[in-house]
Structure 1
Amino acid sequence: MDEDYTVWVDFPRYSQQYLDGVEGFLQNAFPLFGKGDEIQCPCKKCTNRLWLRRDVIYDHLICYGPSSLYVEWICDVSHTKMNGKDNMDCETGMGFEDNLDDMFDCTGKGFQNVEEGEDGPNVEAAKFYRHVREGKQPLYPGCTKFSWLSFMIRLYHFKCVHGITESAFQELLGLMKAAFPNALLPSSLSEAKNTIRDLGLDYQKIHACPNNCMLFWAQNSDKDMCDNCGASRWVVQEKKGSPVNDPQKLIDKVPAMVMRYFPLKPRLQRLFMCKEYSKLMIWHAVGQMKDGKLRHPADGEAWKTMDSNYPLFSSENRNISLGVAADGFNPYRSMNLSHSTWPIILVNYNLPPWLCMKQENLMLSTLISGPDSPKNNIDVFMQPLIAELKELWDVGVKTYDVLAGKNFTLHARVLWTISDFQGYAMLSGWSTKGKLACPVCHYETSSSYLKHSRKMCYMHHRKFLHPTHKWRLDKKRFNGEIETGQSPEILTGTDIEELLRGFENWFGTKKEKAKKIDSPFKKKSIFFDLPYWCHNPLRHNLDAMHIEKNVCDNILGTLLNIGGKSKDHVNARFDLQEMGIRKALHPVLSADGKHIEIQAAIFDMTKKEKEVFCSVLKNAKLPYGSASNIGRFVQERKVLGYKSHDAHFILHYLLQFAVKKALKPEVALPLIRLSAFLRGVWSKVVDVSMLKKLQDDIIIILCNLEMIFPSAFFDIMIHLLVHLCREIEYGGPEHLRNMFPIERYLAKLKAYVRNRSKPEGSIAEGYLADECVTFCARFLSDDGAISNIDVTCPIQAEYHIDTRRNKDGKVFHLTDAEHKACHRYVLFNCGNQEIEKLME
């Protein structure tokens, strides 16, 4: 904002400069925004909610001053010239709230009809709006329930969800056209798909080498053989009826491997063609509270660092920041079939935190076909996405913003990736196995190989303590050595680029064996093709969901001595003997010399104590919807078969009560503190000053655990706990950067599979149909097309107003008492800004 615009606002409210500024604002605002003799009052008390007369608004601005949310708008209006040549810039929409129609109907050249104005829609946007207008025609003369476009999309969605074949769908269309000759129905499935494609709802099929070496795409689109391994692009199939001994056998051109790519640019452009979403796309800049707490990734150091490094990008609030999530899943819902399909999903971080991880806002970008995981070759399949992201960064795409009524150049960037630890290695190129498994500690990872357990352990957490801490000198209770190490410095993206200078990537499953290099890097990640990637301080996220699941497995398995899960076994005791520590736990020969005996450790429980421990988990009464029935996983003093969210709930809430009843205080206390640490890590609002305390706590907790549990307990997942606080500081709240919403979204993709021989095709068509439904909810809701749910509202996104769903999924109406209880709960659990929006 120009400094001259704010000079009168900065003066004392009794000064003549301030009084003249208020007069200028009122003189210009009433002709533009007045209804009769009233406009909305932008003072601190009214905050644009009340319509008041001019004299009352004058008094309010003198007594209370302008609201900080509308200072820029007030200054713009007070400097607006009324000759129609220099109108207010209202690209942000600030001050209009929900009265957007008034903004476009007001006088002034810049606020005329957006489709006819000087800065109206560009060619692509005009074509899109023309299709939407045409699609809003009634299905048949006199129809008020459906438009022809909404009915066609609903019919297409019905076909995909219920697995209707194309031939059956074609016959159904013919029957409907014969029965309803006046209805505007498509003549074929191809015509319906072409209409959907005109709206930007489409995907591309790209052929790939069956050995994952290259894509037959861009400059390689005309090739029939792979350049690396020589494999054919096609599957050779003999045609029926050809002679058996014919030397010239005919073949059908069927691609050996196909990936699906969903273009990103039209999907981003469409977000700004919807008024409500265009308003939400700048929430990260103008809608959140600025009190120094972490509520959104925009509050984190990584976002701020990128903004300071690239001020041109950050100067436009509508530029989009994305997250890239990748994970593999079995589309058949069966554990006895080995099949791994890998989708790549984009997360839109411009949206508010209660919307950015919702399923309707996750964008499927790439679908990599199975049956095998792409592993390090995932970079081959990400080439189209990276190429489009580079174009969006360097050139941008011309986009029409319906909220402002103007075109602008939209740019986009990737903040980080989200994946499990296996996916971390695939996306970053750093090997997450072996002695340097920690990507944060990198070359300074402290690890030891346990000869008898045949695994690596990661201890030495004393090096994160203060240099003068007394535990650094304690050899007896730790590993028998004095700790002199220091906390390692983080490898920056520039450091990694320098390390990988001249590194040559090798892709494909049948490549020549490359020279073995002494480096934990298996490749140079394709993300380094993005010009800003090396300056990003948080490129890949550690997934707290899988970390918690593994930590819970280790704790429960060891405490309850579950076979195959316990980390305290004979080999672990021999490792202690090998290291020369904790002599009381060393294995000894029995009196007859035929057996090996081991002494009970401090954390071992009797049968009675195990029963008490398990009873806490089995008999816990939990609020409906907060967790699954954890008691069904408790069987004969064992806890088996629980899922990731169950582990999350156990660690946060139930473990502290179980260990307090069953274990000695010296064992129970560190585990209780671990529960408190995890609850702090998962806070939706994080106080930065508390992060230092949480970091100090987890170091002490891990050191305490080193005194209690054997070395085999400390796998890489236990060690990664020490790095979670740093990632929160850089990336913002943990619940916006983990795999929980992504895993739930994968379950939704599994539900699309109808043709088990082509699961990826079913998923692509199902996603496209679901995207069409979301499109109808945003653009055709005036016709009552598909859904009357406002997808932008955090409450209505899952429930109809005045209704709720029971456990069977059926909708029933709330009583007055239930409705009041729900309303009270929302008011008590929302911030001030959310309450003001609900009150409006």
Structure 2
Amino acid sequence: MDGDYYIWISLPRSSSEYVKGIKNFLSNEFPIYKRGEEMKSPCRKCAERYWHRQKTIYDHLIFSGPSELHEEWIYEVSKMKLEVTDDFMDCETGMEFQDNLGAMFDCTGKKFQNLGDGEEKPNVEAKKFYQHVKEGKQPLYPGCTKYSRLSFMIKLYHLKCVHGISESAFGELLSLMKDAFPNAHLPLSFNTAKSVIKDLGLDYQKIHACPNSYMLYLAENKDKDVCDTCGVSRWIIQEKKGIPDNNNPQKLIHKVLTNVMRYFPLRPRLQRLFMCKEFSEIMRWHAVGRKEDGNLRHPADAKAWKSMDARYPDFSSEIWNVRLGVATDGFNPFRSMNLSHSTWPIVLVNYNLPPWLCMKQENLILSTLIFGPESPKNNIDVYMQPLIMELKSLWNIGAKVYDALTDENFQLRASVLWTISDFPGYAMLSGWSTKGKLACPACNYENSSNYLKHRKKMCYMNHQKFLDPTHKWRLDKRRFNGEVEMGTSPQILSGTDIDELLSGFENQFRVKRKKKGKSDSPFKKKSIFFYWPYWFHNPLHHNLDPMHIEKNICDKILGTLLNICGKTKDHVNARKDL
């Protein structure tokens, strides 16, 4: 044990400091990692193998102590929250619904009570935010200790979204609850509930889009009614007959939008993170609380993060600046595998947070929602324009943010480290076609591909070139393709290389491309990410989600080894190709 790193863990388990540290740890860790009313116990006896309730885990950590493998983690989590109440075990009497937003409501009150008008004090937006928080912290009804006004309303809103309750049914439910509980402070309608979220600066914008995904009706295109590329109207015109007047039926025109995307502005969401003192503190964890011993525990330990810090010292010198990741994938929101529909959310990952928090659902930032029924394919860049423009502004100029931790204003900047997607999503984000002879973006133009005549698909071989030059497998002819491998591993294309290859390239977004006249270039577009000045120098642009890769490889290997009918790859056509 070095220094005071394990200062309270090293104390006797009967001491008051040790007991307080365990309470700190459980009050911070249990809401994050629990499943129902239980979570895995990190005590020496269980070592995260068994699930227990919070009270049982508390007893285990007092009598048995923490596992040696989890001491460092327990200490880090315990320091996230300094004040502990004595009744933290009573899970059923406190505010039950505590998510990222709810926790923010509980920890901003003290900081904003006596606000002045000095230059370093919170701006007008922060004051208005606190006023809403102050009103929302009032009990739901006189004497209520379980819910505040805001926590109960957000809980209702959450249940509506999870269970798919319609707006009309939700409004009738609110009316019924208002009649049954007249003393409770409840919203009068669904729109009233939504307006509270809007007042907190967490609203979204509806942006009209071309039905063929060629353009957005923004800026200079805001007032247009027809797409410049395909000529399709942004409206569906519905005509209805009105009351006849002098035997001349009057036509009533009703316009319906053909395609709408939702954009959730990033700037106010980043500003809200620093209005909570405790959350503002953990936003600096990557620079203050991270243990630097050469091991890879966090993206801040990776080469991509460090190279960006070295190239842009003015950005890295401010530890509160935010590093983000962009993730996207398609899903069917209607819970039916028989319905062909693909909705694409674009989510931002906040890498300033510790590794046990940055990938939690409540800390992911929804940025864009692209509705189906079809995948946007290469045209996803069209829908990402608002996000790209806002992130460029946050890189060049930044946003003025009030920090509750230091009681000062500062200029916040943000950058994107990489994207996360599956392999088809890689093609949509990067513009590199992941099909055909040059499907591998890492091998790029030095790909060793062969067409299998009988199986009618591409095969990628000669992977011994990635081995050490003296490796014995390079000389093994019998187990591979009958040749000695003398090649070297291919050079990965950098951002500047891609920019040179695509110099003068004009994006032509099309939903359906013609088969004739195909280009031999694997690039189908120049990615919109190159609009950021730092993207050229990022050493790692795109990451692959390993879940899909592991599942597919495991299925193929097990299907072949167990000779499962319909899943084995050892069949007649495979033997012919061999």
Tell me the equivalent position of 2:282: 280
Counterparts of 1:392-791 in structure 2, within 5 Å, are 392-509=394-511, 516-576=518-578
Give the match for residue 3 of structure 2: 44
In the TM superposition, residue 246 of structure 1 has moved relative to its aligned partner by: 9.4
Q: Does 1:129 align with 2:94?
A: no
- Give a deviation string over 1:67-117, Cα, whole Å, max 9, x none: xxxxxxxxxxxxxxxxxxxxxxxxxxxxx985589xxxxxxxxx9977338
> Which has the bigger relative contact order, CA under 8 A and spacing at least 6?
1
Name the CA shift for 1:153/1:571 in 2 (closer, same or farther; >3 Å).
closer
- 1:116 counterpart letter in structure 2: G
Higher mean displacement: 327-336 or 112-121: 112-121
Contact 2:81 2:278 in 1 (8 A): no
RMSD: 2.9
Over the matched positions of the two proteins, sequence identity in percent amounts to 72
Matching residue of 1:210: 211
Question: 1:284 Cα deviation (Å)?
Answer: 0.8
**Are residues 406 and 47 of structure 1, via their aligned partners in 2, closer, same or farther at CA, if it must alter by over 3 Å?**
farther
Structure 1 window deviating more from structure 2 (216-225 vs 172-181): it is 172-181
Say whether the 8 Å CA contact 2:342–2:374 is kept in structure 1: yes
* 8 Å contact from structure 1 (residues 229, 511) kept in 2: no
Q: Which letter does structure 2 place at the counterpart of 1:315?
A: S
Higher mean displacement: 270-279 or 181-190: 181-190
Aligned partner letter, 2:115: E
Matched residue, 1:116? 116
Go from structure 1 to structure 2 and tell me whether the alpha carbon gap of 1:176 and 1:563 turns closer, same or farther (over 3 Å shift). Answer: closer
Matched with 1:793 is: none
Contact 2:476 2:484 in 1 (8 A): yes
Code of the residue aligned with 1:221 in structure 2: it is K
The answer on 1:325 being equivalent to 2:284 is no
Runs of at least 5 residues in structure 2 that lack an aligned partner in the other structure? 10-78, 85-110
In structure 2, how many angstroms separate the alpha carbons of the residues matched to 1:492 and 1:290?
A: 28
The C-alpha deviation readout for 1:616-651, integer Å capped at 9, x for no partner, is xxxxxxxxxxxxxxxxxxxxxxxxxxxxxxxxxxxx
The alpha carbon displacement at 1:477 in A equals 3.4
Q: Report the Cα distance in structure 1 between the residues aligned to 2:307 and 2:425, rounded to whole angstroms.
A: 25
CA gap of 1:461–1:153, structure 2 versus 1, over 3 A, is closer
Question: Is 1:494–1:534's contact at 8 Å kept on the other side of the alignment?
Answer: yes
**Alpha-carbon offset, residue 249 of structure 1:** 5.3
Residue of structure 2 in register with 1:372 after alignment: 374
* Structure 2 contact 285–353 (Cα < 8 Å) conserved: yes
2:240 counterpart SS class: coil
Please report the TM-score for the alignment, with normalisation by the length of structure 1.
0.54
SS in 2 for 1:157: helix
Q: Which residue of 2 aligns with 1:186?
A: 187
CA distance in 2, matches of 1:503, 1:296: 37
DSSP 3-state at the match of 1:558: helix
C-alpha separation between the residues in 1 aligned to 2:386 and 2:528? 11
Tell me how far 1:240 sits from its aligned partner. 5.7
CA contact (8 A) 2:391 2:414 kept: yes
Shift, 1:341, TM fit? 1.0
- One-letter code of the match for 1:219? E
> 2:406 aligns to what SS in structure 1?
coil
Change in Cα spacing, 1:512 to 1:123, as seen in structure 2 (3 Å) is farther
Partner of residue 352 from structure 1, selected from 336, 351, 354: 354
Q: Distance in 2 between matches of 1:431 and 1:408?
A: 42
Rounded to whole Å, the distance in 2 between the matches of 1:306 and 1:208 is 35
Q: Deviations over 1:306-354 (max 9, x none)?
A: 1111111101111111111111112222222211111111111111111
Counterpart position of 1:199: 200
Amino acid at match of 1:115: L
> Does the CA contact (< 8 Å) of 2:112 and 2:130 recur in 1?
no
Amino acid at match of 1:568: D
Decide whether aligned partners of structure 1 residues 337 and 530 sit closer, same or farther in structure 2, where only a CA change above 3 A counts.
same
1:369: Cα distance to partner?
A: 0.7
**1:115 is paired with a residue of what secondary structure?**
coil
Change in Cα spacing, 1:543 to 1:169, as seen in structure 2 (3 Å) is closer
What is the Cα deviation at residue 193 of structure 1?
1.9
Q: CA deviation at 1:395?
A: 1.0
Pick closer, same or farther for the CA change 1:520–1:247 going to 2, 3 Å: farther
SS at match of 1:235: strand
Conserved 8 A contact 1:440-1:491: yes
Moved more, 160-169 or 228-237: 160-169
Question: Is the Cα–Cα contact under 8 Å of residues 242 and 250 in structure 1 kept in the other structure?
Answer: no
**CA–CA distance in structure 2, aligned partners of residues 570 and 461 of structure 1:** 25
The 1:246–1:522 alpha-carbon spacing in structure 2 relative to 1, beyond 3 Å, is farther
How much does 1:140 deviate?
Answer: 4.2
Deviation at 1:536? 0.4
Question: Which runs of structure 2 are paired with 1:286-297 in the superposition (5 Å)?
Answer: 286-297=288-299
SS in 1 for 2:304: helix
Q: Contact 1:229–1:510 (CA<8 Å) still a contact in 2?
A: no
Distance across 2 between alignment mates of 1:228 and 1:277? 46
For residues 305 and 437 of structure 1, do their structure 2 counterparts lie closer, same or farther at Cα, with a shift above 3 Å needed?
same
Q: 1:475 to 1:133 in 2, by over 3 A?
A: same
| Contact kept? 1:114, 1:120, Cα under 8 Å | no
Check whether the contact 1:421–1:432 (CA below 8 A) recurs between aligned residues: yes
Change (3 A) 1:117 1:288: farther
Contact 1:225 1:233 in 2 (8 A): yes
Q: In 1, are the aligned partners of 2:395 and 2:413 still within 8 Å (CA)? A: yes
- Superposed CA deviations along residues 123-160 of structure 1, whole A, max 9, x for unmatched, are 21121112111222344445444433333333433444
Matched, 1:229 2:188: no
Q: Which secondary structure state, in structure 2, belongs to the residue aligned with residue 237 of structure 1?
A: strand
**Alpha-carbon separation, structure 1, partners of 2:203 and 2:364:** 16
Secondary structure of the residue aligned to 1:129 is: helix
CA deviation after TM superposition for structure 1 residue 189, in Å? 2.9
DSSP-derived class of the 2:125 partner = helix
- The structure-2 alpha-carbon separation of the partners of 1:207 and 1:45, relative to structure 1 and needing over 3 Å to count, comes to closer
Superposition deviation, residue 186 in structure 1 = 3.2
Distance in 2 (alpha carbons) for counterparts of 1:212 and 1:189: 31
The structure that is helix-richer by fraction is 1
Aligned partners of 2:241 and 2:252 also within 8 Å: no
Change (3 A) 1:559 1:218: same
Contact 1:213 1:380 in 2 (8 A): yes
Unaligned residue ranges in structure 1 (runs of 5+): 1-42, 51-95, 102-110, 577-840
Superposed CA deviations along residues 169-217 of structure 1, whole A, max 9, x for unmatched, are 4444445555555554434332332222111221111111111111112
